[in-house]
Chains A and B, each alone.
Chain A
Amino acid sequence: MRSENRRIIKKFFFNTSSIIGFSLLGMFIIISIFAPWIAPPKEGKNPYMMPIVTWSSNPQPPSPEHPFGVAGKRDIFYGVIWGTRTAFQVGIIVTAISTLIGLFIGSVAGYYGKFIDEVLMRITDVFLAIPFLVAALVLTTILGSGLDKVLIAMTVFGWMYPARLIRGNILQAKEEQYVMAAKALGVRNLFIILRHVLPNTIFPVLIQASMRMGSLVITAAALSFLGVGSPQGYSDWGALLNYSRNWMLGGQGEALRYWYMTVFPGVAMILFVLSWNLVGDALRDVFDPRLRV
């Protein structure tokens, strides 16, 4: 056992990619926790709303009072810092809830098989066949504006992926010897699922979840592009990038005049997604038995 642990630790921490991944993730976690000190919010106001610092819509380049510049009347630095919290919230909430729903549906479908499986998979197919952006747009119009409604939309149309994954894994696991043995011994179904099947099939789901943490942030940004997404002025990298889209081509002659509007939130987003990808890769390299030499 001990050498197994040592092997895991070695693979985890001495691999270049995973070192980069974990350190980036660590950095984001620290920024997230210390946001109120790094970018203090105004008293009495919602800390997630970027403070308005000017009335003119013209962006301003970085300066001592506004280290990342000003865009859309608001301070970009504040938005990037608090946006870290938003990114984690969006990722964690949607991933957690949709994974739970997916786990439940996938397990039931995979384990009981036959008719239940057919019905549940049909329903999953239906949801998968609806173009996500369209569905999210319509759903958020119904539910109203606000980040929580966006999260609901992303969850309602996001549980299918973990569901299919877990179902596939369970179907595979069902054929395994130890499960058949447990069944033969008369162990109750639920017990089998919880105690034997799930733990062995959970890792791909975790890996997928870690990848989704990153991609969800991008999806949220795409929704901002389409006009839904977090409310105006909310600290959200996607919203910041969406605002920058109308200034990206720069001023007359200088194409990169408004670089700061894209670079700061853009780099934050890339690094965030990159870190989750690398972490997911590291997890997979360690836990995926198929890659073990």
Chain B
Amino acid sequence: MFIPLTLFGISLIVFSMIGMLSPYQRLATFISNPDRLKSENVDQLIDMYGLNDPIIVQYVRWLRNLFQGNLGWSYVGKTPVLQAIVQRFPYTLELTLFSAIPIILIGTWMGVVSALHHNRPLDHSLRIFAVIGWSFPDFVFGLFVLMILYSTLGLFPPGNLSIWAEQVVKSVGFKSFTGMVTIDSLLNGRLDVFIDSLRHLFGPVLTLTYVELAYILRITRSSMLEVLRRDYVRTARAKGLDEKVVINKHAKKNAMIPVATVSGQTIVGLLAGTVIVEAIFNRTGLGSFMALAAQQLDYASIMGGTLFFGLILIVGNLLVDISYAYIDPRVRLE
């Protein structure tokens, strides 16, 4: 399959970028801020970590470790890279899944309503509402949400869990099945922990939802508009079928085909794009991990993380393509 080849390509591009850095720049991984610059002789660190070796040598070293299953040590995560990724990924996945549901549901619903009221006030206002969300950098909206939900109302705090809930999760009796607290807490029968983690998810989910649903709305709307003009819809109407049936039974189903593709892409995109929301709501996830790794030029983390993301994106897109073929009967015939 082309997956290993693509992954190899990713690693090559990323490593060559890192390779263009000077040893002193790379030193920032070990001396991460001015207060940690305490010694006159930092060249010893450069030698210890092989920062002066030619890029090829460093790359080969990394590859060799990779084939032994060792992704290296993450200085940003302070654990081995693989462990750092595995620990953080469930949080990003959880956030993505809990956001994807409202994004898709609300987005398609608004898109259909918009199409049905084409060019009338409702259509325009819905579209502008959505586009405003999409025009806003997510950190601005996120802080705004934090301000209202937490500072003013005090109901939806940042972070993953409250202190008491965290202790429950870390206690011996709590079994971790998926790493996602919401699902795990239900599986463990702890409704209180489940609710607590929902509380902490509410803010980030709200932010992501508003910011992303414009795209789904737009696609649904245009797809719906296109379908509504199709011959078979006109035929159904001519046959005298109830308008509601026409819409729900015939139009919507066919309109959803491109939406399914886009939804899949949105989910996959969300997985990689939660950096900012994670920073503001202080959630530990892969996004903030990668951002920190990039800032500190922690090459092992960057390489491991991009490979991981690459894998997810490729697999995710593949799944989307396959499901597209499955849903759209026209494609299947090819």
Contacts and interface: CB of A to CB of B under 8 A. Distances in A.
Q: Do chains A and B touch in the complex (CB under 8 A)?
A: yes
A222 B135 contact: no
Interface in B236-289: 272-273, 275-276, 279
Contacts, number: 145
Contacts of A255: 147, 151-152
Interface string B287-309: 00011011101000010011001
A126 interface: yes
B48 interface: no
Contacts of B10: 126, 129-130
Contacts of B9: 122-123, 126
A222 B297 CA distance: 19
A189 interface: no
Contact of B143 (A122, A133, A238, A245): A245
B17 A125 contact: no
Nearest to B19: A142
Q: How large is the interface on A (under 10, 10 to 19, 20 to 34, 35 or more residues)?
A: 35 or more
30 contacts: A15-B119, A16-B119, A17-B127, A125-B2, A125-B314, A126-B6, A127-B13, A128-B313, A129-B10, A129-B309, A130-B14, A131-B273, A131-B309, A133-B273, A134-B294, A137-B291, A141-B294, A222-B275, A222-B276, A227-B295, A248-B144, A249-B143, A249-B151, A250-B151, A255-B152, A262-B144, A274-B128, A274-B135, A291-B225, A291-B226
A158 B293 CA distance: 22
B147 A141 contact: no
Interface residues of B, number: 53
Could you tell me the dominant secondary structure of chain A's interface residues? helix
Interface of A: 15-17, 122-123, 125-135, 137-139, 141-142, 214, 218, 221-222, 225-227, 238, 241-242, 244-245, 248-250, 255, 262, 266, 269-274, 277-278, 284, 290-291, 293
B291 A134 contact: yes
Given A125-B6, A126-B10, A130-B10, A141 B25 contact: yes
Given A126-B6, A137-B294, A245-B140, 8 more contacts: A17-B127, A130-B306, A221-B139, A262-B140, A266-B136, A269-B135, A290-B226, A291-B222
B155 interface: no
A151 B290 CA distance: 21
A226 B277 CA distance: 12
B2 A129 contact: no
Nearest to A241: B140
